[in-house]
Amino acid sequence: MSKNDKVNNRLSLNQIKSESKPLEYDGTKGLKDLISKEISDKSFIVAYLDNEVLIGTYENGNLDFYQNKAIDPKFIQRLRVFNKDKELLLWRTNNGFKGRYRKDGDGDEIDVVDAEQVLFGTDKENLGNFTKLFEKRGTEIILPFTELDVKDKIEGKRVFIQTRNYIDYNKAHQATYVDCRFMGFTNT
């Protein structure tokens, strides 16, 4: 695969500019303040909690999840707020949270692999401003979209999450992924 080639496996190798900085959060208050300090654009949010995964939107300091669910920071295992250009990532540690903020378009040149990874869900149910994707075997995911077009595996119309994987090289010139971020969703 050469740079800038898109192949049928939904991967493409590119070279971009990107910068990243570490973040710390004590987990007691101000989660929305931390997010709004780094991200002001409309974005998606994926919250991996102790008992569920919530997927919603973030805009103007507001988190919007299905059934107006809220996030209690003490239950966060991992949290991603992202759009096509940037991502804030937090993960729980023994001493609060650690994280990083990554922004593409500025910073140093780096090689990346952009990927589209299929989500479970060959059937759908509209839920107002959200859509539930599900499989007959019981797996389901609720996304902050309407009018998604999904078909069974044979017809191939699915929903994908777009990721960007950052590559660096060790002293032996071996390539390895050093970071990964979510970029958005596509329905192709």
Domain assignment present for residue 153? The answer is no
**Which residues form the domain of 108?**
11-116+160-186
**Which of 119, 102, 117, 70 has the alpha carbon at shortest distance from 166?**
102
Q: How confident is the prediction along the chain (188 residues), in pLDDT tens digits per residue? A: 444 444 457 899 999 999 999 998 888 778 899 999 999 999 999 999 999 999 999 999 999 999 999 999 999 999 999 999 999 999 999 888 999 999 999 999 999 999 999 998 888 999 999 999 998 888 899 999 987 888 766 556 889 999 999 999 999 999 999 999 999 999 87
Q: How far apart are CA 10 and CA 113, in angstroms?
A: 10
What total of structural domains would you count in the chain? 1
Burial of residue 147, with CB atoms counted within 10 A of its CB: 0-12 exposed, 13-18 middle, 19 or more buried:
exposed
Residue 140, domain member (yes or no): no
Nearest in space to 111 (alpha carbons), one of 16, 182, 175, 19:
16
Whether 55 is in a domain gets the answer yes
Q: Is 134 contained in some domain?
A: no
Q: Is 181 part of any domain? A: yes
Strand ranges, E, within the chain: 11-25, 43-49, 53-59, 62-64, 76-82, 86-93, 96-104, 108-118, 123-127, 130-134, 140-143, 160-169, 175-186
Q: What type of residue sits at position 7?
A: V
Within a domain: residue 90? yes
pLDDT for the residue 8 = 59
Does residue 6 lie in a domain region?
no
- Judge whether 36 lies within some domain: yes
